[in-house]
Structure 1
Amino acid sequence: MEKLSRLATEESNPKSIRLDEMTTNEVLNIMNEEDQTIALAVQKVIPQIEQTVEKVVNAFKSGGRLIYVGAGTSGRIGVLDAVECPPTFSTSHEQVQAVLAGGKGAMFNAVEGAEDDEQLGATDLEKLVIKKNDVIIGIAASGRTPYVKGALIHANSCGATTVSLSSNEHSTISNFAHIKIEIVTGPEVLTGSTRLRAATAHKMILNMISTTAMIKIGKVYKNLMVDLNASNFKLRERAKQMVCNITDVTYEQAESVLEETDYDVKLAIVMIIAEVKKEKAETLIINSKGFVREAVKLAFNEG
C-alpha cells in the first residue's frame, strides 16, 4: 500500500512552515492566498468532469442513479451534495445518494477504522443493488482509501460506470475507475488537513457535476431552478418571483397559478406563456421531456 508520506496532500507547505508563529492576520491571508489556487486546479480537470457529467446525464435518462462514496470529509462532502438535490431540483432521494464509511452516524462522529475496511465499502454498495446504468463516484483526497477502493471494485463488477476523485496524481483508486479525476491541490496550509484545499476542490467539482447534469435533463430554465421543491415560505416566494420574472405577470397572478399547480413552477410557466390549461401544460412538459423551453415551442408549433 502506498505510503502517506509520498502523497502531495501529506507534504509540508513551505509557505506555512511558521504557522504557529504567525499573527491571526498572517494565517488568514496565507489561507486565502492558497485557496485562490483551487479554481485554477479545477479548471485543469474540466475535460474529466465533462466526461463524468455526460455519464451521469445518460444514467438519469435511463433511470440510473448517481452515488457518491467516501470516508470522513470526502464522504461528508458527498452527503452534502446529495441531500441538496431534492430541495433544489425536486429529485427523489434515490436519484442522487451518498454512502459514507461508518454509516449515517459518521456524518457527525468519526467512526474509527471504517475507512480502512475495503470489504465494508463493497458491502455497503451491495446493499444498494448497483445496476449498469448507475454512476459511482469514489471520493478520497489521498486517493488510496481502502473503503472507496472496495466500493469501486464492487461497482465495476456490477457493470456500473465508475469515477475516482482524488487530490494526488496516479492515485490507487484511479486504477479502479473508468474516469479518473485527479485534481492536484498540493500541500495543505495545515499539513495533511485535507478538509481544507482538497475538500474545497472536491466540493466545487461535485457542485459542477450534479448541477450541470440537472441542467441537461431539464431542471433549469434560463438560469433559474424551475424544478425546485417549494416546501417552505422562502421557496414559495422564490417560486412566485421566478414566475413573475419569466412571464411578466403580477405577483397575485403568479400566486394564483402556482396554487393551482401545487407550486409546480415549470407547469405554471408553460400554462401562462402558452396560454393553456393545466392538463395541456402537463402533456407539453411530458412530450418535451421536462424542458420548459421546448414545451413552450411545442405549444406554439401546435397552435
Structure 2
Amino acid sequence: MPTEDVSARFVDLDEWPTLDAVEAMYEGQLSAVAAVRPALASIARAVDDAAHGLRRGGRLVYAGAGTSGRVAVQDGAELPPTFDWPLDQLVFAMAGGPKALMRSAEGAEDDEADAAAKVEAAGIGADDVVIGLAASGATPYTVEFVRRSTARGAVTLGVANNPAAPLLAVARHPILIETGAEVLAGSTRMKAGTAQKVALNLFSTAVMIRLGRVYRGMMVHMQASNAKLHRRAESMVALITGCDEAAAAEALRQVDWDVKRAALVVNGMDPDTAGVLIDRHGGSLRRALAALEGADRASGAAGG
C-alpha cells in the first residue's frame, strides 16, 4: 500500500538539517496538490450528479475515520457560514463519534456494525450525497458506510489515495488521488490529508456554484452575521447593482442582510417579491436578474 511504504529517500530524515527536512516536507505538500489534477474530471461528474438531489432537499453526508474523518468535518463545517448551507442538510458520520475529532479513536475505524447503524439512523436516501474519505481506501467503517449508502440509492463519493482500494469499488463516484509514499511512512495527515482537503474544497465549492450560491465570483449566499460580513455584503450589493454602499446597506437591512434579495430590492422590487423571484429561479441571482431585466424591457416596449 503506497501510503504505508517507507521511502528510501527519507530513511535518514531524522539526521537531516532542519531546513532540509522542512523543504522535503514542503515539496511533498506541493506534490499532493498536483496529484489532484488527474481526478478533476471525476470530481466534476460527482458535482453535477450531487446537485440534482441537493436541490430536492438532500443532505451532504461526510463519513470517515481518523485524519480523513477530521478533514471531512473541517470541509463540511465551513459550508453553513460561507454559503448559508442549512444545518439540517449536513450530516457528520465520524467513526467513534464527535469525541474522535479531538481524541484518537483508532479502533472505531474497524467497526462496520457502527457504520451500518449510522446509515440506518440517518435514513440515507436517494437525494443524499455521501462523501467517504480514507487514505488507505480500505478503512472498514468508511467502506461499509459508503457501500450501504450506495445500495440505498444515494450519490456516493469515495476518496482514496491508493489504487484498487475497496472504497473506490463501492462508490458511485470513485475519486483516486495517488499521493504515493509519505515523507513519514503512514503519516497520511501529510500528503494524503492535504490532497483530500483540496479535493473537498473543489467539490463542495463547485456544488455551491451549481446550486446558485455564487454569483460573479462572490459568496452571495453567505451568512452576514457580524460587522465584517455586513461590510462585505454592502460591497457585494454595491458592486452587483452599481449603487453606493449606503443604498446597499439600506436594502440589506430590509431583507435581513440577504445579498441576493437586496440586489433585487435596489432594482426596485419589494422584499417579498424579490424572494419569490429568486426561489422561482432555483436560488440563482443571475437568472433572477435576467428575468427582471427582461420584464423591464417588455414593460418599456409596451409603454412605448
Is contact 2:42–2:174 with CA below 8 Å preserved after alignment? yes
Looking at structure 2, the residues matched to 255 and 191 of structure 1 have their Cα atoms a distance apart, in angstroms, of 54
Q: Deviations over 1:23-63 (max 9, x none)?
A: 11111111111211122211101111112111211111222
Secondary structure in structure 1 of the residue aligned to 2:219 = coil
Q: How far has the Cα of 1:156 moved from its partner?
A: 2.5
Q: Quick one: which of 122, 129, 132 aligns to 1:128?
A: 122
Aligned to 2:174: 180
Which region of structure 1 is more displaced relative to structure 2, 241-250 or 119-128?
Answer: 241-250
Aligned to 2:187: 193
Secondary structure in structure 2 of the residue aligned to 1:113 = helix
Aligned partner letter, 1:152: V
Aligned to 1:65: 59
Aligned partner letter, 1:285: I
Secondary structure in structure 2 of the residue aligned to 1:230 = coil
Aligned to 2:293: 300
Q: How does 1:15-30 map to 2 (within 5 A)?
A: 15-30=9-24
Q: How far has the Cα of 1:246 moved from its partner?
A: 2.1
Secondary structure in structure 1 of the residue aligned to 2:122 = coil
Looking at structure 1, the residues matched to 187 and 288 of structure 2 have their Cα atoms a distance apart, in angstroms, of 48
Looking at structure 2, the residues matched to 15 and 53 of structure 1 have their Cα atoms a distance apart, in angstroms, of 38
Which region of structure 1 is more displaced relative to structure 2, 72-81 or 173-182?
Answer: 173-182
Aligned to 2:218: 224
Aligned to 1:277: 270
Aligned partner letter, 1:279: D
Aligned to 1:256: 250
Is contact 2:135–2:193 with CA below 8 Å preserved after alignment? yes
Secondary structure in structure 1 of the residue aligned to 2:104 = coil
Aligned partner letter, 1:102: G
Q: Quick one: which of 229, 232, 238 aligns to 1:238?
A: 232
Q: Quick one: which of 72, 89, 94 aligns to 1:95?
A: 89
Secondary structure in structure 2 of the residue aligned to 1:45 = helix
Aligned residues: CA RMSD = 1.3
TM-score by length of 1: 0.94
Q: Does 1:42 align with 2:36?
A: yes
Question: What residue ranges of structure 2 are gaps of 5+ in the alignment?
Answer: 297-304
Q: Does 1:289 align with 2:282?
A: yes
Q: How far has the Cα of 1:283 moved from its partner?
A: 2.2
Looking at structure 1, the residues matched to 157 and 101 of structure 2 have their Cα atoms a distance apart, in angstroms, of 22
Aligned length: 296
Q: Does 1:158 align with 2:152?
A: yes
Q: How far has the Cα of 1:230 moved from its partner?
A: 0.9
Aligned partner letter, 2:126: K
Is contact 2:66–2:106 with CA below 8 Å preserved after alignment? no
Is contact 2:47–2:203 with CA below 8 Å preserved after alignment? yes
Looking at structure 2, the residues matched to 270 and 239 of structure 1 have their Cα atoms a distance apart, in angstroms, of 14
Which region of structure 1 is more displaced relative to structure 2, 280-289 or 40-49?
Answer: 280-289
Looking at structure 2, the residues matched to 161 and 253 of structure 1 have their Cα atoms a distance apart, in angstroms, of 43
Question: What residue ranges of structure 1 are gaps of 5+ in the alignment?
Answer: 1-6
Q: How does 1:112-151 map to 2 (within 5 A)?
A: 112-151=106-145
Is contact 1:79–1:97 with CA below 8 Å preserved after alignment? no
